[in-house]
Amino acid sequence: LDVTLPEPLPLDHKLLKLKNCVILPHIGSAETNCGKKMVEISIHNLIEYFDNKSMINQINVN
C-alpha cells in the first residue's frame, strides 16, 4: 500500500500487523510503467463501484 488514511498509520493499526501487506512511503508509483496501470485500475474501479461490484485491490480490514 502506498497511501493510507490516516497517514502515517498509528503503530497499532491492523494493516501493520498483516504479514502479506507492505506499506510504502509514497514511492509505489515511482516505477516507470505504473502511471498507465494506475489509470487503468482507477477507471475499472470507478465502473465497478457504480455497478456495486468488487474493485481491484480492495482491502477490507474489518
Active site residues: 26
Asked if 54 and 48 count as a contact pair (C-beta separation under 8 A), the reply is yes
Cβ neighbours for 41, distance < 8 A, ≥ 6 positions apart: 56, 57
> Residue 42's closest CA among 53, 27, 57?
57
